[in-house]
């Protein structure tokens, strides 16, 4: 064995130790959540054991029925998928515009957009509520979605613009000479190249929309339009929290975001293959 290999071995082991330590702290809460979701209410608190005494898988079924997840789940899926789609489409279009194209007031507009990230608006739900009321969109899915999409604009444009800025301009210039339209450049060249950034954006916005409940509970009235977080409310009584049920419900509610992440993170990694830029 040569020195080089030994050095690499040691480096790899150190790497793994660091990674595993961090990973353990991330896995523990999940483990606790799963284990608590299978316990009984008094067991969660009186027994400090990590594993439940008897595995009450029925908690899951019970939680699903009690929280009426059937309805809420589909709603959340709808808000998340449609909302994220529009956020990604609208922000990538705008970010491309800001990064590559010339028009009046480009910089000013960009900074005004971004500055909305900076000012926390206390009680923002009130102006939004009034707005939706005036637009006749209170208690509608469209109204809620519009708020969600608008909420993701500044961040999305900011993120994507820095990625577009970073992409080499040469390919686009070549394509432009080949007679490709501006929209074609965006659609066929810039978007595929920015895939890792788009995937990141999808992940982050899915998380935000999936977990949102304040606005939904303020602007929606009809229970059948509400998102999954509304279901979790049932387990958090005014005084008594039903922890096993809550944890079972939270687990059910967390799975979809994990799935979205699993699908999307592949795109982050599969970014630009070595050959993509040579063409």
Partner 1 sequence: MFKKLLVVALFACLLPMVAGCGRPRVRGDITVWHWMTDRQAAFDALTQKYYEKTGLRVVFEVFAPEDVYRSRIQAAASGRLLPDIFSPQGDRRELAAFINAGFIANLTEYMNDGWKDMLFERALQPMTFEEDNQWGAPAGIYGVPLDVNSLMLYFNKDLFRRAGLDPYNPPQTWTEFIEAGRALRAAGIQPFVSGFGEGWLINAFATSYKWNLFGREGVLGLIDGTIPYTDPRYVRVLQLFEEMRNHRILASGIVTMVNKDAERVFATERAAMAFNGSWGINVYNSMNPNLNFSVMPLPRLEEGRYPMLKFGGEGSSLFVNEQSPKRDESIAFLRWLTEPEQQAFLARETLNIPSNKEVAEDLPPLLKIFSEHMAYAIEPLPRVEAWQVVNFININLQSIIIGERTPEVAAREIQAEKNRQAARAARRG
Partner 2 sequence: MRISNKEKAYNMMFIAPALILFMVFNLYPILRTIQLSFFEWNGIDRHMTFVGFQQYIDILFYNPIFWRSMLNAGYITLLSLTLQNGLALMLALLVNRQIRGDNIYRVIFFLPPVLSGIVVGLIWRFVYDGNHGILNHVLVYTFGLEQFRDFAWLSEIRTALSAVTVVHMWRGFGYGFIILLAGLQTIPQDLYEAAEVDGADAWQQFKYITAPLLIPVFTLVSILTVLGSMQIFDLIYSMTRGGPAGHTHVPITRIYEYMSNGEFGYATAMAILFGIVLLVVSAAQIYVSKKLNR
Separation CA 38–CA 154 (nearest Å): 41
CA-angle at 48, arms to 42 and 52, nearest 5°? 65
Minimum CB separation of residue 225 from partner 2 in Å reads 19
Selected from 81, 180, 233, 257, the binder of partner 2 by CB under 8 A is: 257
Q: 213: Cβ–Cβ under 8 A, 6 or more apart, which residues?
A: 227, 229, 230, 233
Instruction: Give which of partner 1, partner 2, none residue 164 binds (C-beta under 5 to 8 Å, depending on kind).
Output: none
Q: Find how far residue 94's CA is from the centre of its chain.
A: 20
d(CA 183, CA 192): 13
Q: How many CB atoms lie within 10 A of CB 160?
A: 26
Stretch 50-89: interaction string toward partner 2, x if CB under 8 A: ----------------------------------------
Tokens 């899926």 belong to residue: 77
**130 near partner 1, judged by CB under 8 A:** yes
- By CB under 8 A, tell whether 46 contacts partner 2: no
Stretch that binds partner 2, among 51-59, 61-69, 75-83, 265-273 (CB under 8 A): 265-273
Residue pair 91/201 in contact by the 8 Å Cβ criterion: yes
> Does 238 interact with partner 1 (rule: CB under 8 A)?
yes
CA distance 146 to 152: 10
Query: Which residue stretch of 64-72, 76-84, 91-99, 218-226 sits at the interface with partner 2 (rule: CB under 8 A)?
Result: 91-99
Q: Does 123 bind partner 1 (CB under 8 A)?
A: yes
Among 53, 58, 162, 224, binds partner 2 (CB under 8 A): 162
What sign does the CA torsion over 233, 153, 83, 225 have? positive
Q: How far is the CB of 202 from partner 1 (least distance, A)?
A: 7
* Complex with partner 1: residue 110 or 159, whichever CB lies closer: 159
Number of amino acids touching partner 2 (CB under 8 A): 90
Q: Where are the beta strands (DSSP E) in the chain?
A: none
Q: What angle do CA 22, 24, 30 make, to 5 degrees?
A: 120
Per CB under 8 A, 10 contacts partner 2: no
Binding positions for partner 1, rule: CB under 8 A: 41-42, 45-46, 70-71, 74-75, 77-78, 81-82, 85, 88, 123, 125-126, 129-130, 133, 138, 141, 191-192, 195, 198-199, 202, 213-214, 217-219, 221-225, 233-234, 236-241, 267
């Amino acid at each position: 064995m040569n020195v080089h290999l030994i050095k690499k071995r040691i480096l790899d082991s150190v790497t793994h130790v660091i990674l595993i330590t961090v990973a353990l702290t991330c896995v523990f809460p999940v483990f606790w959540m799963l284990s608590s979701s299978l316990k009984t209410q008094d067991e969660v608190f009186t027994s400090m054991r990590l594993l439940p005494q008897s595995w009450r898988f029925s908690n899951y079924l019970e939680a699903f029925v009690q929280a009426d997840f059937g309805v809420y789940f589909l709603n959340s899926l709808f808000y998340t998928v449609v909302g994220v789609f529009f956020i990604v489409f609208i922000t990538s279009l705008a970010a491309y515009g800001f990064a590559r194209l010339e028009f009046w007031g480009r910089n000013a507009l960009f900074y005004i957009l971004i500055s909305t990230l900076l000012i926390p608006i206390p009680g923002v739900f009130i102006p939004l509520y009034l707005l939706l009321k005036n637009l006749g969109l209170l208690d509608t899915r469209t109204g809620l979605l519009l708020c969600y999409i608008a909420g993701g604009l500044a961040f999305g444009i900011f993120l994507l613009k820095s990625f577009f800025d970073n992409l080499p301009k040469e390919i686009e210039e070549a394509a432009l000479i080949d007679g490709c339209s501006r929209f074609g450049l965006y659609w066929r060249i810039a978007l595929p190249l920015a895939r890792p950034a788009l995937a990141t954006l999808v992940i982050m916005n899915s998380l935000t929309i999936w977990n949102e409940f304040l606005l939904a509970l303020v602007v929606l009235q009809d229970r059948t339009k509400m998102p999954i977080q509304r279901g979790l409310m049932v387990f958090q009584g005014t005084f008594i929290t039903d922890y096993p049920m809550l944890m079972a419900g939270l687990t059910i509610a967390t799975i979809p975001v994990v799935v979205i992440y699993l699908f999307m993170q592949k795109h982050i990694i599969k970014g630009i293959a070595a050959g993509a830029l040579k063409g």
